[in-house]
Amino acid sequence: MNLAKLALATAACLAISAPTAFAQKLPDTMSWTAYDVGSAGYAEASAIADAFGKKFGTKIRIQPSGSSIGRLQPILTKRADLGFLATETFFATEGIHDFAARRWGPQDLRVLAGRPASIGVFTSKESGIKKISDLKGKRLALVVGNPSLNVKCEAFLAFANMDLKDVVPTLFPTYSAAMSSVLKDEADASCTTTTPSQVYELESSPKGILWIDTPANDKEGWKRLSHVAPFLQPFTETLGAGISAEKPVAIAAYRYPTLVTRADMTDDLAYAFTKATDETFDIYKDATAVMSRWSMDVAGTPAADAPFHNGAIRYLKERGIWTDEHQAWNDKRTARLNALMAAWPKAVEEGKGKTDEEFATIWEQRRSKVLSELAQ
């Protein structure tokens, strides 16, 4: 064999024997954001980062933050590649809550994948409440300064064509206080995930616990719910207080953590990251009790807090996961985001010289008009 042929053969062997980091086209170093140390989001980001290091040699720095702005600003300013985020992603794309200030507005974000986390409305077995419409006139526990939880509660009301005017909103200063309120007879119902300690306490009490079904086959109910919270999807939960494989509940799921990046991340990098998350699954899947839900056939499907990135979709199509139904959801979600981004400059222009309170009213009116038109 001459030297040229030997060199080609050697290169081919190297490409076959060490395809990982090169084939994935991952950077040597990456920066991610996540919730604070000790949170589920930080733990799961750490487990996946460790898996990336083992398989691809990628060094990852995780920036923890206790605020939505703290987690998103590094991504938007390109000081971080992506974040392990939650419902603040939806708020950022909608230009609401922290992102309703003039310096923010709707942000052009994209999702790569996200682990489903179930959420539902719970009450006591003795309350007489069996369905969402039974909440009319009842005390619904909400948390002051927690729009992430409260918007989900409002979405469940919309399932039954109701809103906060149809219930008695009962505000609590902390999440813990709200979740304990049903047991203490300070509220009739609330909404949360299925595993906080407070719902287990309710289950073991004489009151017992009941999760209110929002069945997937109620298409009109889900259409109304999705208009308020398009990041929620029907979900059958088998884990949690009063729940088991033998006694599942038909509730909802949102994504936490969700892998979020800017829309301008290249398709190749989004593809590579999604693929790497999938290919390292066997390394991190047992890191926590819920990490198995990072399986890409679950984590790589809508609904999510923002549209999926085209690069992620390309990989999901290759895996046979992405369907026409998923694409239809993504097209609709992208249209909503684009419409809100187009409306924002007009609101800013109209709000020149106005107070922050006046501007907030202007934007909410424009946003409501956009969403109303999209719903038609």
Cβ atoms within 10 Å of 28's Cβ, excluding its own: 9
Position with higher pLDDT, 19 vs 125: 125
Residue 66 lies inside a defined structural domain of this protein: yes
| 105 & 154 share domain | no
6-63 pLDDT, tens digit per residue, is 333 433 333 333 334 334 479 999 999 999 998 889 999 999 999 999 999 999 999 9
| 111 & 122 share domain | no
Residue 314 lies inside a defined structural domain of this protein: yes
pLDDT (0 to 100) of residue 284 = 98
The answer on pLDDT for 190 being more than 90 is yes
Residue 160 lies inside a defined structural domain of this protein: yes
Residue 11 lies inside a defined structural domain of this protein: no
| 49 & 168 share domain | no
Average of per-residue pLDDT values in the chain: 92
Instruction: Give the residue from 220, 254, 288 where a domain finishes.
Output: 254
| pLDDT-wise least confident of 9-18, 293-302, 325-334 | 9-18
| 79 & 172 share domain | no
Instruction: Give the residue from 254, 270, 303 where a domain finishes.
Output: 254
| 337 & 237 share domain | no
Domain harbouring 319, CATH code? 3.40.190.10
Residue 223 lies inside a defined structural domain of this protein: yes
Q: Please, is 282 exposed, middle or buried when counting C-beta atoms within 10 Å of its C-beta (0-12, 13-18, 19+)?
A: exposed
277-291 pLDDT, tens digit per residue, is 999 999 999 998 899
Provide the domain limits for residue 75: 27-115+258-375
Instruction: Give the residue from 195, 220, 254 where a domain finishes.
Output: 254
pLDDT (0 to 100) of residue 135 = 98
User: Once rounded to an integer, what is the mean pLDDT over residues 327-349?
Assistant: 97
**DSSP characters over 125-152:** GGG---SGGGGTTSEEEEETT-HHHHHH
| 146 & 110 share domain | no
Residue 284 lies inside a defined structural domain of this protein: yes
